[in-house]
Amino acid sequence: MNKDLRPIIWNDSEKKLVLIDQRKLPNELVYFECKNYKDVCFAIKDMVVRGAPAIGVAAAYGMALAELNGEDMEKAYLELKKTRPTAVNLFWALEKIIAAKNSGKSLLDEAKLIHEEDIELCRKIGEIGEVLIDDFDTILTHCNAGALATSAYGTALSVIRFAHYNGKKINVLSDETRPRLQGAKLTCFELNYENIPVKAICDNTAGFMMSKGLVDKIIVGADRILSDYHVFNKIGTYSLAILAKYHNIPFYVAAPYSTFDFESKLEDIVIEERSESEVTHIDNVRIVAEGVSAYNFAFDCTPPELITGIITEKEIIYPNK
């Protein structure tokens, strides 16, 4: 990476967690400091930090802060666990921290390890996945599955990054991703930061562009992947996968194994429902008539038959072969 975009920084001398405040991008690149686990809970709930792997890493540091501050560890664990329900990396990281605690390890060391490992996993996803990308491909992505959603590189955007680093001339289309606009606000910022060609499109433009032959591949991230390869990801992913199938466009998911949930069944998964105001308002301005309410499901589920391949840090899985 020519310019290093790291959303999560541990400040060892001051024993605090420093996060890029993703609520403020792209207009301001400012940081949010967490001095205790409650600050971390707020940061995850309010989406200062977001994206499945990044949430897991932040929660691990939240537990480390609780230990350093002599706070009630059980309370910290339960409160962190409640911050967001769908991305499995949160629970995965908290279980790793509990295992470290039970074996008498330092929680800060464990959090640093989870953080470092996530960087490596994302790098490998990029290296493995970039073989799927051809010179002059136009790749559509949804939400932000980039460096900002992980510790570095990203998942879907790591594949895109490595194709670019390897000299492939690619173009990226970034769905705006209503309601929180992670595609418009974060993916466009992140790719432009590294001079990777990107154009923003409205969510409802994707089908039209596919029908015109203007999309070669689709790559998205994941918040949870079940053992039968059902993929939970940002709301709108399912619609894109159906459109991709209709237009015969390869549809890839990129995620580390920390995003796999080998235990839960489809019906067990809780889809996060966020505040209606994220739909009824844009940047605090009401756009839906007063008195009208809204649905705000944050994620949806894409079945394996719509998925061409799942790119992990170990291999590419083909659910339908």
Ligand X SMILES: CSC[C@@H](O)[C@@H](O)C(=O)COP(=O)(O)O
Half-sphere exposure of 70 toward its Cβ, with a 13 Å CA cutoff?
0
> What do you get for the CA distance between the two ends of the chain, in Å?
34
Q: Which long-range contacts (CB under 8 A, 24 or more apart) does 203-211 make?
A: 203/175, 203/176, 203/177, 203/178, 203/236, 206/140, 206/173, 206/175, 206/240, 206/243, 207/243, 209/140, 209/173, 210/140, 210/243, 210/244, 210/246, 210/247, 210/249, 211/247
Q: Does 161 bind ligand X (CB under 6 A)?
A: no
Residue among 63, 65, 90, 143 that touches ligand X (CB under 6 A):
143
Q: Of 111 and 222, which has the nearer Cβ to ligand X?
A: 222
Q: Does 155 bind ligand X (CB under 6 A)?
A: yes
Contacts of 123 (CB under 8 A, 6+ apart): 152, 153, 158
Q: Does 65 bind ligand X (CB under 6 A)?
A: no
182 has binding-site annotation:
yes
Closest separation between CB of residue 50 and ligand X, Å?
3
Tell me the residue length of the chain: 321
6 has binding-site annotation:
no
Q: Does 119 bind ligand X (CB under 6 A)?
A: no
- Among residues 316, 183, 311, 303, which one has the least CA distance to residue 239? 303
Q: Of 155 and 302, which has the nearer Cβ to ligand X?
A: 155
Q: Does 296 bind ligand X (CB under 6 A)?
A: no
Contact status, residue 125 vs residue 312, Cβ threshold 8 Å: yes
Contacts of 237 (CB under 8 A, 6+ apart): 142, 143, 220, 231, 299, 300, 302
The tokens 């790793």 sit on which residue? 96
Residue among 83, 151, 174, 182 that touches ligand X (CB under 6 A):
182
Contact status, residue 79 vs residue 41, Cβ threshold 8 Å: yes
Q: Does 44 bind ligand X (CB under 6 A)?
A: no
User: For the window 202-231, what string marks contact with ligand X as x by the rule CB under 6 A?
Assistant: -------------------xxx--------
Number of residues that bind ligand X (CB under 6 A): 18
Amino acid at 307: I
50 has binding-site annotation:
yes
Residue 137 is a catalytic residue: no
Residue among 7, 53, 56, 183 that touches ligand X (CB under 6 A):
53
User: For the window 80-109, what string marks contact with ligand X as x by the rule CB under 6 A?
Assistant: -------x----------------------
Residue among 139, 147, 149, 215 that touches ligand X (CB under 6 A):
149
Q: Does 50 bind ligand X (CB under 6 A)?
A: yes
Contact status, residue 234 vs residue 181, Cβ threshold 8 Å: no
Q: Of 100 and 145, which has the nearer Cβ to ligand X?
A: 145
Closest separation between CB of residue 92 and ligand X, Å?
13
Closest separation between CB of residue 227 and ligand X, Å?
19
Closest separation between CB of residue 58 and ligand X, Å?
11
Q: Of 67 and 223, which has the nearer Cβ to ligand X?
A: 223
Which member of 21, 175, 203, 223 is catalytic? Answer: 223
Q: Does 52 bind ligand X (CB under 6 A)?
A: yes
Q: In the bound complex, which residue of the shown chain has the CB atom lying closest to ligand X?
A: 221
Residues that bind ligand X (CB under 6 A): 50-53, 87, 143, 145, 149-150, 154-155, 182, 221-223, 233-234, 298
* Residues in binding site: 50-52, 84, 182, 233-234
Q: Which residues are catalytic?
A: 223
